[in-house]
Amino acid sequence: MKKIGIISDIHGNLHSFESVISALGKEGVDEVWCLGDIVGYGAFPRECIELAKETCSIILGGNHDLAVASKISLSEFNYEAREAVEWTVEQLEESEIKFLGELEPIKKISVLNFTVLLSHGSPVNPVWEYVFTGADAARAFYAMEAEGVSICFLGHSHVQMVAAERNGEVAIERPEKFSIEKNKMVILNPGSVGQPRDYDPRAAYIVLHNDYQIEFRRVEYDVDAAAKAIVEAGLPPFLAARLKTGY
C-alpha cells in the first residue's frame, strides 16, 4: 500500500509547511514529493529547506530556488519577488544555496505502474511557464506527449486544479477528488503550501492513493504568525497581507 503526499510552493512559510507535514503524517503517507519553490516570500527559508530535506523524497527546483542560487536571472521577477530573493540570499549558508542550485525543475519517474512527469511550471518551460487556462494546458499536453507521459503534477501558479480533456476540449476544473485514468492526458496542481492564490488562505496539497485516486486537501495554519514574521523580517508588507486573503 503506497500513499503519496504532493506539495508545492512552500515559499519560506514554516507555519504552513509544518501544518501540511503534520496533516500528511496523520494521513499516513509513505512519501512526500515537493514540486519546487521551497524559498522566496516567507521569513523562514532555512527552516523550510531543513524540513523539506527531512520529509521529502523528491524535491524539484522552482524559479525562486534557482534565482536564490543565481542559476537564473532576476530580471523576470516583480518588485516583491526580487526583494524576497535578495533577502533570502542573505539568510542562507553557502551549503544551502548550493543545495537549491542543484535542484532540477522537472523529473520523470515511475511509480505505481505509471510514468509520471513532475514539473515546477509547465513542461513547456518548467522554470517559468504557468498553466492557468485550458490553452496553457493544451500546450503542456504536447510537451508531455513528447516525453511519452499522460500524467503531470506541477505547481508554480499556486492554484489547486486539474486540467483534463472534456468533449474534445481541455478544461480546467477544481474538484475535491479526481480519478486518474491510464492514457488520458491530465495535469494536476496541488496548489501552494505557503502562499495560496486561489482565494482560500488555507495551505494546499494533494494526496495520491495507490489506485490513482487523488484528493485535493486544505489545512488551516497560523496565518497571522506567518504574516507577522514577514513584516518583522523587513520583507515587503504585501507578502504578509496576501497570506490573509489567499490571493
Binding region for Zn ion (CB under 5 A): 9, 37
The nearer residue to Zn ion, 79 or 148, going by C-beta atoms, is 79
What is the closest distance, in whole angstroms, from the C-beta atom of residue 121 to Zn ion in the complex? 9
Q: Taking Cα atoms as reference points, which of 133, 192, 190, 193 lies closest to residue 163?
A: 133
> What are the b/e assignments for 203-234, b being 16+ CB within 10 Å?
bbbbbbbeebebebbbbebebeebbebbeebe
Q: In this structure, which long-range contacts are made by residues 123-128, counting pairs with CB atoms below 8 Å and at least 24 apart in sequence?
A: 123/147, 123/152, 123/154, 126/60, 126/154, 127/62, 127/63, 127/66, 127/72, 128/63, 128/76
The nearer residue to Zn ion, 3 or 46, going by C-beta atoms, is 46
The nearer residue to Zn ion, 121 or 185, going by C-beta atoms, is 121
The nearer residue to Zn ion, 5 or 155, going by C-beta atoms, is 155
What is the closest distance, in whole angstroms, from the C-beta atom of residue 112 to Zn ion in the complex? 27
What is the closest distance, in whole angstroms, from the C-beta atom of residue 19 to Zn ion in the complex? 18
DSSP one-letter code for 150:
S
C-alpha cell at 145: 506527449
* Residues 77 and 89: beta-carbon distance below 8 Å: no
What is the closest distance, in whole angstroms, from the C-beta atom of residue 239 to Zn ion in the complex? 12
C-alpha cell at 100: 537549491
What is the closest distance, in whole angstroms, from the C-beta atom of residue 11 to Zn ion in the complex? 6
The nearer residue to Zn ion, 9 or 18, going by C-beta atoms, is 9
